[in-house]
Structure 1
Amino acid sequence: MMKLNQDCVRDCLKFVESDLELGSFFHLDDFFESKKLSKYSQADIKYSLLKLSETDFLHSNPTIRDNDLVFFSTGMLTWNGHKFLDTIRDPKVWSKTKKITQHLESVSITLLSEIGSKVITNLIDENM
């Protein structure tokens, strides 16, 4: 059984945004070898990349064989990928978002984005 590691999803997006240069590509090994992602298992990284590809957050080319991700390349985040990352980038927003969702059995990436947006709105309201 694979459970989506939300922190890994966020860190994969941050890695692509911060380390990938325009016109270049990251492949599966780049994610596995990144010090920024070293705390995650290869299985968590693979599953996160698959889900990010499905959500259209990365311009990517996944190849799946025997129910396993065997090839992956990405050249950049999509508009939706940037939008999602901008919503959950701030550590304070991310912490509050995770705290709100910690008792839920399942939380989609879309729901994380919606909750993150509400957390940001509440933080803005508190500071006005």
Structure 2
Amino acid sequence: MELNHDLVRCILLAIEASENITGINEEELLYYLEKHGNYNDRNSIAYTVSKLKEAGFITGDIRWANNSPTWIMAGNLTYDGHKFLDNIRDDKVWKDTKTILSKFSSVSLSFVSSVASNVISQLIQKQLGLN
């Protein structure tokens, strides 16, 4: 299964937006994803949550039965999750980052973060008139 970077971003934003101190629950996550990105494929959501957990970006967990997700708990952001989200949160930065990344067939999340960081640096330099 392919990792959808837009879904990655949307899940991280959903977790950050949650006021639940123990982490976003499944109902809240699915509502946020449907509202903000029209993501309603439970398998893709579960896969993305599991990869974000593997990457150390979230504290979540998935429960599986009969090869289907029965429980999706995205949890909270880790410190690394906050750092990654800080690089991709801004809509303009995300749009510019995706434009750059569209030239490649696949990229890692660390590369996404690096490109976003460079986009931010360029925008700051432009704003300060340092180009």
Normalization by structure 1: what TM-score? 0.85
1:110 maps to which residue?
A: 110
Deviation at 1:37, TM superposition (A): 4.7
Deviation at 1:69, TM superposition (A): 3.4
Q: Which structure has more strand as a fraction of its residues?
A: 1
1:11 maps to which residue?
A: 10
Normalization by structure 2: what TM-score? 0.83
Query: What is the alpha-carbon root mean square deviation over aligned residues?
Result: 1.9
Q: Secondary structure at the match of 1:70?
A: strand
**Relative to 1, partners in 2 of residues 1:29 and 1:21: Cα closer, same or farther, differing over 3 Å?**
closer
Q: Is 116-125 or 70-79 further displaced after alignment?
A: 70-79
Q: How many residues align?
A: 126
CA distance in 2 between partners of 1:28 and 1:49 (Å): 11
CA distance in 2 between partners of 1:106 and 1:97 (Å): 13
The Cα offsets for residues 44-89 of structure 1, whole Å up to 9 and x where unpaired, read as 3222211111111111223345554333324310001110111001
Asked whether 1:76 is paired with 2:76, we answer yes
CA distance in 1 between partners of 2:17 and 2:26 (Å): 17
1:31 maps to which residue?
A: 29
**Relative to 1, partners in 2 of residues 1:58 and 1:52: Cα closer, same or farther, differing over 3 Å?**
same
The Cα offsets for residues 1-60 of structure 1, whole Å up to 9 and x where unpaired, read as x221111110111011012322x3333343223343561132332222111111111112
1:85 maps to which residue?
A: 85
**Relative to 1, partners in 2 of residues 1:39 and 1:58: Cα closer, same or farther, differing over 3 Å?**
same
In the alignment, structure 1 segments of 5+ residues that lack a partner are none
CA distance in 2 between partners of 1:104 and 1:120 (Å): 20
Q: Secondary structure at the match of 1:26?
A: coil
In the alignment, structure 2 segments of 5+ residues that lack a partner are none
Checking the alignment, whether the CA contact within 8 Å between 2:60 and 2:74 is kept in structure 1 is yes
CA distance in 1 between partners of 2:98 and 2:64 (Å): 30
CA distance in 2 between partners of 1:38 and 1:91 (Å): 13
Letter of the 2:109 counterpart: I
